[in-house]
Amino acid sequence: MTSIRQFQVTFDCAEPERVARFWCEVLGYVVPPPPEGFDTWDAFDRSLPPGERGAWFACSDPSGVGPRLFFQRVPEGKTAKNRVHLDVRVGTGLVGEERLAVLQAECARLVALGATCVQVLLADEDNESCIAMQDIEGNEFCVD
């Protein structure tokens, strides 16, 4: 029998800590404690060589159920559509106008955090409504 593997989701970005803190707000995730021997992440960051400072940041599900999110600085900007994206599941089990109202409320909350609403996709014969969005660096995700 195959064992279940833990995994993390890695984002390439320009400002790892900024993007990580955005996703903490979106998902209710937390920043883990700094490495042993450091009181703060800033103190840890200052201990690194200049070229490595701010190169990565992470956040995790405080319940331990969801995957860790890892953010790494890359030199190039985003140039194309993501091949993988996150679905932020706030409307599970809801249908019709009730679902759309919950999705729109979450969209408004995320826009206030710096996200961008790209498109509201209304329900049809095959799919329920969802909202396509972008995070603060343009990575696509859906409010579903």
Residue 80 lies in a domain: no
Closest CA to 19 of 4, 5, 29: 29
pLDDT for 108-119, tens place per residue? 999 999 999 999
Q: Is there a single domain that holds both residue 98 and residue 45?
A: no
pLDDT at 24 over 80: yes
Report residue 102 as tokens: 């919950």
Residue 45 lies in a domain: yes
Distance CA 138, CA 142 (A): 12
What are the φ/ψ torsions at residue 56 (nearest 5 degrees)?
-155, 160
Distance CA 76, CA 127 (A): 35
11 alpha carbon, distance to own chain's centre: 8
Q: Write out the H or E segment, with its range, that includes residue 118.
A: strand 116-121
Domain end (from 73, 96, 125): 73
pLDDT for 25-66, tens place per residue? 999 999 999 999 999 999 999 999 999 999 999 999 999 999
Q: Is there a single domain that holds both residue 102 and residue 53?
A: no
Three-state DSSP class for 42? helix
**Which residue range forms the structural domain that includes residue 105?**
86-143
pLDDT for 61-92, tens place per residue? 999 999 999 999 998 887 888 888 999 999 99
Task: State residue 84's pLDDT score.
Answer: 85
Residue 1 lies in a domain: no
Task: State residue 131's pLDDT score.
Answer: 97
Task: State residue 100's pLDDT score.
Answer: 96
